[in-house]
Chains A and B, each alone.
Chain A
Amino acid sequence: MDLDDAGRLIHQPTRLRIMALLYRRRDLAYVTVRDALGLTDGNLASHVKRLEAAGLMESRRVLLGREGFQLRYRVTVEGSAAFRRYLRALQDVLDEGSQGL
């Protein structure tokens, strides 16, 4: 697959699932992402750290009244664009593969 730096970062099973979920939902609570993907706290945190460092997603704390703060994740504009490029590259490879059959 012909991928740029962001695409290579996304092209890993867990990070791909995190980015796909955030790309579709835009903004999700940390707990929702963790539970939907069946990840441990440590596993999620390590992948989020790499995606955040690349500017593909961001996290923020939101005040929820008496319940205190909630950690939320959001895909960035750059992250959305990078994920769309990744999907196009993936589609190209799959199309080439199907034509070769």
Chain B
Amino acid sequence: MEMTATQAAATLRELEAAEETLTARTAGLTHLVWGLAAPLIFLTYGAAGDLVARAGAWWAYAVLWIPGTALGAILTHHLWHQHAVRLGWSDEGRGDLRVFAYVGGVLAAGAILFFGARAAGVEWAVSTAMTVANGLLAILAGLLERRGGVPCAHYGTYAGVGILLAGLTMGVLGTGEDASTILGAAATAAGWSLAGLWMLRRG
């Protein structure tokens, strides 16, 4: 089939749109995965927290986040590998300073919020701090997705801002541990899932 140069250029432009759709779907599914994995982390702390406290095994608090995070990470890796989606840096963008600036910025924001709250004499429940951290991670994921050329990555950033605001509100209101666990699980489930659904709709 003979094809002119203009037709070839049009074919490439059409493909770009199809590729964006594919990436948006993958990103949407990824956010839905974290809409399950993130609240699972809160529920793990909620369910096992009392047992750990009674047994005096305080060290377990440091590892209870691992099952939920591992589930999310494994499913995400599988999805992104399947669709050849890349995060942040590609082969061409090795050493990209902006990616490190994003990570550093989010870590700095987390440290300022944590130590700022402590300096102000505000005692956060563990789940409140986890909600704030989750919001910051969601913002970071959105920024990295944007650097990786994922269309509609801004939905992920908005979801992160929403989760962060929910966490900060819980901190200001001084919600207790049980309430924070439920609110944190609800905020992260809603934030990640809504962003995923928006992305899927866009895809």
Is B5 touching A94 in the complex (CB atoms < 8 A)? yes
Is A94 touching B6 in the complex (CB atoms < 8 A)? yes
Q: How many B residues, CB 8 Å from partner?
A: 17
* A1 CB–B CB distance under 8 Å: yes
**A-contacting residues, B90-106, CB 8 Å:** none
Partner of A12, one of B1, B9, B12, B83: B1
* B8 CB–A CB distance under 8 Å: yes
Partner of B82, one of A1, A11, A32, A90: A32
Per-residue 0/1 for A16-47: is the Cβ within 8 Å of any B Cβ (1 yes, 0 no)? Answer: 11001100111111001000111000000000
The chain A residue with its CB closest to the CB of B5 is A93
Is A1 touching B12 in the complex (CB atoms < 8 A)? no
Partner of A16, one of B6, B11, B22, B82: B11
Per-residue 0/1 for B4-18: is the Cβ within 8 Å of any A Cβ (1 yes, 0 no)? Answer: 011111011001001
**A-contacting residues, B1-49, CB 8 Å:** 1, 3, 5-9, 11-12, 15, 18-19, 21-22
* B84 CB–A CB distance under 8 Å: yes
Give A82 Cβ to nearest chain B Cβ, in Å. Answer: 15
Give A28 Cβ to nearest chain B Cβ, in Å. Answer: 5
**Given the interface contacts A13-B11, A16-B12, A17-B11, does A24 sit within 8 Å of B19 by beta carbon?**
yes
Give A10 Cβ to nearest chain B Cβ, in Å. Answer: 9
Interface of B (DSSP majority class): helix
Give A72 Cβ to nearest chain B Cβ, in Å. Answer: 9
Which residues from A are CB-within-8-Å of B84?
Answer: 25-28, 32
* A100 CB–B CB distance under 8 Å: no
Give A68 Cβ to nearest chain B Cβ, in Å. Answer: 14
Is B12 touching A20 in the complex (CB atoms < 8 A)? yes
B interface list, Cβ under 8 A from A:
1, 3, 5-9, 11-12, 15, 18-19, 21-22, 82-84
A interface list, Cβ under 8 A from B:
1, 11-13, 16-17, 20-21, 24-29, 32, 36-38, 90, 93-94, 97
Q: Can you give 14 contacting A-B residue pairs, CB < 8 Å?
A: A11-B8, A13-B1, A20-B12, A26-B84, A29-B83, A32-B83, A32-B84, A36-B18, A36-B21, A37-B15, A90-B5, A90-B9, A94-B6, A97-B6
